[in-house]
Amino acid sequence: MKFGVLQFPGSCDERDAVDACARVGEAELLWHRDPDLKGVDAVVVPGGFSYGDYLRAGAIARFSPAMESVIAFADAGGPVLGICNGFQVLCEAGLLPGALLRNVSLRFHCEQIGVEVVNADTAWTRAASPGERLSIPTKHGEGRFYAPNLDELEANGQVVFRYAPGENPNGSERDVAGVCNLQRNVVGLMPHPEHAVDTLTGSTDGLKLFASAVAAIATH
């Protein structure tokens, strides 16, 4: 099982993402200009500030040559995870519904928070239980999830994560922290599971997402 972690100019969490993936499988960095995904079994689009967040976070990165390959990979059912800036890129690319707006505070927010698993039947949450609370860091300025069809997303089971009560850092409607596509192989979330994989930093809850992908590939 090999993960590919896609790196853009301005990514900053790709090394932690590789480390997180390497705890449950093999992992390698993929450069955004190269459309060859090197035969990986799952793709992680990591956090950071691709292209300096100019225009809108993720708006430029989504035109990278590798993104066309990621879209084809996702359309074929391959597991894709977008973390924070990666979530923003996947929304911009049309792989996930909705958009991420500026935090309601208009401030960058950085904190360890509680995140509840709403849907444990996706490629990236099957190792968790519905209602399970994970402790994961969050750090972003444009994390307020918005979708005009939120009722429909809820009805489809596309809301995958919610901020724990009282811990919503950005004003997202109905505390939405992460969503998936209809096929449930593409998941995006604002909190950073790759920063919660070692007891040294206080939580290993993030490993559940990466272990889920390994299970998804094993039963594919």
The reply to whether 91 belongs to the active site is: no
Of residues 48 and 206, the one with the C-beta less far from ligand GLN: 48
82 binds ligand GLN (CB under 6 A): no
Residue 131 backbone phi and psi in degrees, to 5: 85, -10
Among candidate residues 21, 84, 91, 180, the one labeled active-site is: 84
Q: Which of 32, 109, 140, 192 is catalytic?
A: 192
Our finding on whether 7 is near ligand GLN (CB under 6 A) is no
Q: Among residues 41 and 53, whose Cβ is nearest to ligand GLN?
A: 53
How far lies 155's CA from each of 41, 69, 152, 173, 178, in Å?
29, 30, 5, 15, 15
Closer by beta carbon to ligand GLN, 2 or else 56: 56
The answer to whether 79 and 124 have CB atoms below 8 angstroms apart is: yes
In angstroms, how far is the first alpha carbon of the chain from the final one? 12
Label residues 2-29 b or e (16+ Cβ within 10 Å = b): ebbbbbbebbebbebbbebbeebbebee
53 binds ligand GLN (CB under 6 A): yes
Asked whether position 4 contacts ligand GLN by CB under 6 A, the answer is no
According to DSSP, the β-strands at 2-7 and 42-45 are parallel
Q: Is 154 a catalytic residue?
A: no
Residue 95, Cβ neighbours under 10 Å: how many? Answer: 23
Residue 48 lies near ligand GLN (rule: CB under 6 A):
yes
Q: Give yes or no: 84 in active site.
A: yes
Q: For residue 65, which phi and psi values (nearest 5 degrees)?
A: -50, -40
16 binds ligand GLN (CB under 6 A): no
* Residue closest to ligand GLN, measured at CB: 47
Q: Under the criterion CB under 6 A, does residue 184 sit at the interface with ligand GLN? A: no
CA distance 209 to 220: 16
Cα distance between residue 193 and residue 206, in whole Å? 4
Binder among 30, 45, 57, 147 for ligand GLN (CB under 6 A): 57
Q: Does 143 bind ligand GLN (CB under 6 A)?
A: yes
170 near ligand GLN, judged by CB under 6 A: no
Out of 92, 142, 175, 194, point to the residue binding ligand GLN (CB under 6 A). 142
| Residues forming the active site | 84, 192, 194
